[in-house]
Amino acid sequence: MNCCAESDTLTVELPQQAYSRRACLTCNGPSHPVSLRTMVLMLKPELLDQVEDRQYRFCGSPQCLVVYFSPERCYSTGDLRTRVGLKEKDDPLPVCYCFGFDVQALREEIKVKGFTTIPRRVSALVKARLCACEERNPSGACCLGELTKVVKSLMQEAR
């Protein structure tokens, strides 16, 4: 069953065995667990009553509209209060949720300087324990890995 066939939240009934594979139940893409705290902070208020104390996973596939899923339920991009940069096509594309950096800021700095200091600045802030990834990043994880991938791609693009 494709739980992102419509923009509304759908109930999905799939065997627990399929869920334990750790792949998105919709696209079979990569996923990782997220805390219930992350879920509650990211979902639109009208959906909070649907969230039960169960393990949800974040779908890391850019092509899939599903953001969070469990064997019983999927939540798509339209169910969140925050745009998920990984799953969006139009600017602004968030890449660092704690400190507000987006792809355009990276692109502009690379265009002007030929490089970007943003990853170094974010890394220093993370090292100083000033980030709030679980609360601000829909993936519930630190953005440095994704930030590094985006910078690498933009640097190749700029050549």
What is the C-alpha end-to-end distance of the chain, expressed in Å? Answer: 43
Number of domains within the chain: 2
Q: Are residues 72 and 95 in the same domain?
A: no
Q: Are residues 147 and 89 in the same domain?
A: yes
pLDDT in tens, the chain (159 residues): 333 333 333 333 444 444 456 899 999 999 999 999 999 999 999 999 999 889 999 999 999 999 999 999 999 999 999 999 999 999 999 999 999 999 999 999 999 999 999 999 999 999 999 999 989 999 999 999 999 999 999 999 988
In a domain, residue 5? The reply is: no
DSSP 82: S
Side-chain-side CA neighbours of residue 92 (13 Å): 12
Cα gap 51→80, rounded to integer Å: 13
Q: Are residues 62 and 92 in the same domain?
A: no
Strand partners, 32: 58
Domain boundary among 79, 99, 126: 79
- All residues at 6 or more sequence positions from 94 whose CB lies less than 8 Å from its CB, including other chains: 82, 83, 84, 85, 88, 101, 102
Record the pTM.
Answer: 0.82
